[in-house]
Amino acid sequence: MIDRRLFSILLLGSAGTLGACAAGGGPSPGGADVAAETGPDMLFISPMGEPFRAKPPAPYPVVAWFKQADKDGDGKLTLDEFQADAERFFHVLDINKDGVIDHREIYYYEHKICPEILGQAYGALHRRRAGEARLWLAQFGGGGLDNVPTTDGHDTASKAPDGGRLGDKDAPLVGAAAYGLLADPEPVQGCDLRLTGAITLTDFKTRAAQRFDILDDDHRGYLTLKDLPETEAQKLMPKPRHGARRV
């Protein structure tokens, strides 16, 4: 597990190392490639794995995701809106439009759309981070390893976790865990419910419903921005004066 103090130092000192930022601080458009060694200071990875990037003094980019998903703009993100946003991102990931996210599209997601999942945001530590992520998934993924090239040149990438550790506050800070609302190191692979290597839209929306239920822990039927948990990365951002919560 990565030492949290080291993570703090790396996060706060890594301006320009998280990847290219879409205009306006929103997500990378249409699955556009991002460069791992240049870019903004802040990263948020949505519950379904979509990266949102922004530079201060813009709000932490959880705001951009929430406003995008909250289609009617009433400040309440319902299950229907949550799943609709998941479906939109599914079609971004389904590059060949065959209705399935396969291992090639997972590879593209992990290396081009959200390379931070493999630890590339940390420069010299990216091989170590990628190795830790693969070790975690090998232990808890329940499916062994596929032969997919990774950043360190080894032909090994893991099957998806079954989601049983989502929301686990003691889960290791690997992959997307530090930048998301749930302790899920690889949110897209985590949608491979049948561990077949082929994620359908039904799989994706089913996992979306499960993740919504975890976040809606008081069962109101909607989420609000102010009640969302802070990500580990967000907790390390400088806080505004007068005790106001930074979003």
Each residue of 69-120: pLDDT tens digit?
999 999 999 999 999 999 999 999 999 999 999 999 999 999 999 999 887 4
Confidence band, pLDDT 50/70/90 cuts, at residue 240:
low
Stretch 6-18: mean pLDDT: 37
User: How many C-beta neighbours within 10 Å does residue 179 have?
Assistant: 26
Instruction: Please say if the pLDDT value at position 163 is more than 50.
Output: no
pLDDT surpassing 70 at residue 141: no
Mean residue pLDDT across the chain: 73
Asked if the model's pLDDT at residue 4 lies above 70, the reply is no
- Select from 133, 230, 229 the least CA-distant residue to 173: 133
Distance of CA 122 to the CA centre of its chain: 16
Question: Quick check: pTM over 0.75?
Answer: no
Pick from 27-36, 96-105, 163-172, 232-241 the range whose average pLDDT is largest: 96-105
Cα dihedral 174→155→204→73 (10° resolution): 50
State the pLDDT confidence band at 236, using cuts at 50, 70 and 90. Answer: confident
Quick: pLDDT tens for 174-214. Answer: 889 999 999 899 999 999 999 999 999 999 999 999 999 99
- pLDDT for 119 equals 76
